[in-house]
């Protein structure tokens, strides 16, 4: 009997395996394929995601295979005018790292799997396909086929997380319908490896909003570059992926002698969210729960935010520190958050994918040439759940400053709830609150650190409570406010023993 079985060893499953491995839970990973999916899909992740890697000790390893993307993204029309930009960012953004990174997905997945290999409590079984799922009152039975021998076996786990991608079996068993957010469009994804004499091309991502053929250009890592090319009416997919067609499509920028083709595959981008991420002991995470067009580079990021949200809740429930109801806050918190990102990606898709020349002219007129609009990465709040209040910054991630001792904040925090603030406010809380903090292992961090005090002063607070996933659970101006936040912690999440 495992505590948790994870079905699927893509980025969501592998990150969850690291988080549960670190939490000391007995974990089984079942993956039907023998090797990491070799074709690059995701190429971008954000600063919050780097912080998740940091939380499982993989930041340095991920940094060695990724590139900080400091130059932002531009949306350019057919005449070459910039309509919209996402600004560049510093090396040290709010999460204590760059705000955007580029990477090659198979390399990242290898780093995640290497991380998992350090945990003796995580059993990884490759070439094991889950064929049937039978929920029981206090556990779940999984029927598994070993592709090497064809032998079928049964395994049991207290909880099962379906990190099994867009065609999820777990989602089918739960019976969750998909809410459609409207965008379904085939795009050709064309990856190349530049040769040394290739012409200079932009370092930043460019969305070519040309109604004749919308395209995206991305600098990935090292000599790897990507075009994403929208399919137009009348395109024959089989012809489109032929080398001759591919080179013709990008002939404005480069010629066959400038690069080797790595692959060219047609994907249909979707915008959907499952309604029902949990049924009893079955849960969904990643592409099984939602899919977004990649215009913001957020599909995998959302998957990793899912598992960072879920891991500490599963740990609390399995260790008897919280009731099962805590697991319901997983969807109620995450679904509106991922909804906001998908909606923005669909809006950007409407800008990029305008193929009607009149609509494209209207769009260009809206965006006044020479005065590009700037859009910020959204920072939506979590939906209702383990939160005291529903107004930002509650429900947003707390920044990760470098503290006066030179260490990053998260290195002080570990994976606990934490109260950070002015000493007199922390020491002024009630006896009851102090007892709850002791019994639920809340980390108490009275601080005089300039970076932390400056954030508190700027927002008009004296203290905050952070959750293990670094989201702000509640804010306080007084000790009594902290008593209220702590009462909310007991009501929504942890039960003092």
Ligand X SMILES: Cc1cc2nc3c(=O)[nH]c(=O)nc-3n(C[C@H](O)[C@H](O)[C@H](O)COP(=O)(O)OP(=O)(O)OC[C@H]3O[C@@H](n4cnc5c(N)ncnc54)[C@H](O)[C@@H]3O)c2cc1C
The closest of 466, 480, 318, 321 to 387, measured between CA atoms, is 466
CB 425 → ligand X: shortest distance, Å?
38
The closest of 325, 314, 308 to 385, measured between CA atoms, is 325
CB 282 → ligand X: shortest distance, Å?
13
CB 322 → ligand X: shortest distance, Å?
25
Residue placing its CB nearer to ligand X in the complex, 104 or 388: 104
CB 312 → ligand X: shortest distance, Å?
19
Residue placing its CB nearer to ligand X in the complex, 240 or 466: 240
**What is the DSSP-derived secondary structure letter of residue 402?**
B
Asked if residue 324 lies in contact with residue 317, where contact means CB atoms within 8 angstroms, the answer is yes
CB 157 → ligand X: shortest distance, Å?
14
Q: Measured between alpha carbons, how far is 139 from 282 in angstroms, rounded to an integer? A: 10
Provide CB contacts within 8 A for 48, sequence distance 6+: 95, 301, 305, 397
Element (H, E) at 331: helix 328-352
Q: Measured between alpha carbons, how far is 266 from 244 in angstroms, rounded to an integer? A: 16
Residue placing its CB nearer to ligand X in the complex, 48 or 449: 48
CB 101 → ligand X: shortest distance, Å?
10
Query: How buried is 476 (Cβ within 10 angstroms: 0-12 exposed, 13-18 middle, 19+ buried)?
Result: buried
Please report, to the nearest 10 degrees, the dihedral formed by the alpha carbons of residues 231, 232, 233, 234 taken in order. -80
The closest of 320, 283, 395, 339 to 8, measured between CA atoms, is 283
CB 325 → ligand X: shortest distance, Å?
25
Provide CB contacts within 8 A for 246, sequence distance 6+: 190, 240, 261, 264
What is the C-alpha R_g of the chain?
Answer: 24
CB 17 → ligand X: shortest distance, Å?
11
What's the token pair of residue 385?
């759940």
CB 44 → ligand X: shortest distance, Å?
4
Residue placing its CB nearer to ligand X in the complex, 294 or 397: 294
Edge-to-edge order in the sheet of strand 373-374:
290-291, 259-274, 178-194, 224-230, 215-219, 205-209, 73-77, 82-86, 373-374
Query: Which residues are at the interface with ligand X (CB under 6 A)?
Result: 7-13, 30-33, 37, 41-45, 129-130, 163-165, 169, 189, 267, 286-287, 294, 297-301, 303
CA separation, residue 389 to residues 221, 339, 408 (Å): 41, 20, 27
CB 138 → ligand X: shortest distance, Å?
23
Residue placing its CB nearer to ligand X in the complex, 43 or 316: 43
Residue placing its CB nearer to ligand X in the complex, 47 or 401: 47
Residue placing its CB nearer to ligand X in the complex, 376 or 431: 376
Residue placing its CB nearer to ligand X in the complex, 264 or 413: 264
Residue placing its CB nearer to ligand X in the complex, 150 or 406: 150
Q: Measured between alpha carbons, how far is 56 from 353 in angstroms, rounded to an integer? A: 38
CB 169 → ligand X: shortest distance, Å?
5
Q: How far is CA 441 from the centre of its chain?
A: 27
Residue placing its CB nearer to ligand X in the complex, 297 or 468: 297
Q: Measured between alpha carbons, how far is 413 from 416 in angstroms, rounded to an integer? A: 7
Residue placing its CB nearer to ligand X in the complex, 294 or 401: 294
The closest of 417, 469, 475, 482 to 443, measured between CA atoms, is 417
Query: How buried is 234 (Cβ within 10 angstroms: 0-12 exposed, 13-18 middle, 19+ buried)?
Result: exposed
Pairing of strands 373-374, 82-86: parallel
95: left (phi over 0), alpha (psi -120 to 50) or beta: alpha
CB 361 → ligand X: shortest distance, Å?
29
Residue placing its CB nearer to ligand X in the complex, 73 or 465: 73
């Amino acid at each position: 009997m495992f505590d948790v079985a994870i079905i699927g060893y893509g980025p969501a499953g592998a990150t969850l395996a690291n988080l549960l491995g670190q939490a000391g839970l007995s974990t089984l990973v079942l993956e039907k394929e023998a090797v990491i999916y070799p074709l690059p899909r995701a190429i971008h992740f954000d600063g919050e995601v780097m912080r998740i890697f940091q939380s499982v000790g993989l930041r340095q390893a991920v940094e060695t295979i990724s590139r900080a993307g400091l130059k932002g993204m531009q949306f350019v029309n057919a005449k070459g005018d910039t309509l919209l930009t996402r600004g560049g960012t510093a090396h040290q953004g709010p999460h204590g790292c760059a705000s955007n990174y580029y990477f090659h997905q198979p390399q990242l997945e290898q780093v995640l799997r290497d991380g998992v290999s350090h945990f003796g409590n995580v059993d990884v079984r490759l070439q094991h396909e889950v064929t049937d799922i039978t929920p029981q009152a206090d556990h779940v039975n999984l029927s598994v086929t070993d592709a090497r021998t064809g032998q079928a076996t049964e395994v049991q786990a207290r909880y099962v997380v379906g990190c099994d991608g867009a065609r999820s079996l777990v989602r089918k068993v739960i019976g969750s319908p998909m809410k459609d957010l409207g965008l379904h469009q085939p795009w050709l994804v064309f990856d190349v490896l530049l040769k040394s004499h290739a012409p200079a091309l932009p370092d930043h991502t460019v969305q070519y909003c040309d109604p004749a053929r919308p395209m995206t250009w991305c600098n990935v890592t090292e000599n790897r570059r990507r075009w994403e090319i929208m399919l137009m009416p009348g395109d024959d997919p089989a012809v489109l992926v032929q080398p001759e067609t591919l080179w013709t499509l990008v002939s404005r920028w480069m010629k066959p002698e400038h690069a080797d083709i790595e692959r060219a595959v047609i994907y249909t981008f979707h915008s959907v969210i499952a309604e029902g991420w949990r049924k009893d002991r079955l849960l969904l995470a990643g592409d099984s729960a939602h899919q977004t067009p990649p215009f913001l580079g957020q599909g995998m990021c959302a998957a990793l935010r899912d598992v960072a949200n879920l891991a500490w809740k599963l740990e609390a429930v399995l260790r008897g520190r919280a009731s099962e109801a805590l697991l319901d806050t997983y969807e109620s918190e995450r679904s509106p958050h991922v909804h906001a990102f998908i909606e923005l990606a669909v809006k950007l898709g409407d800008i990029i994918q305008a193929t009607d020349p009149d609509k494209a002219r209207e769009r260009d007129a809206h965006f006044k040439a020479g005065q590009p609009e700037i859009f910020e990465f959204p920072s939506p709040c979590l939906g209702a759940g383990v939160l005291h209040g529903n107004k930002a910054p509650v429900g947003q991630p707390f920044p990760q400053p470098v503290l006066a001792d030179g260490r990053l904040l998260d290195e002080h925090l570990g994976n606990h709830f934490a109260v950070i603030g002015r000493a007199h406010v922390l020491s002024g809380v009630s006896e009851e609150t102090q007892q709850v903090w002791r019994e639920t292992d809340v980390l108490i961090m009275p601080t005089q650190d300039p970076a932390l005090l400056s954030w508190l002063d700027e927002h008009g607070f004296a203290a905050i409570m952070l959750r293990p996933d670094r989201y702000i659970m509640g804010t306080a101006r007084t000790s009594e406010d902290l008593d209220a936040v702590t009462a909310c912690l007991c009501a929504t999440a942890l039960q003092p023993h």
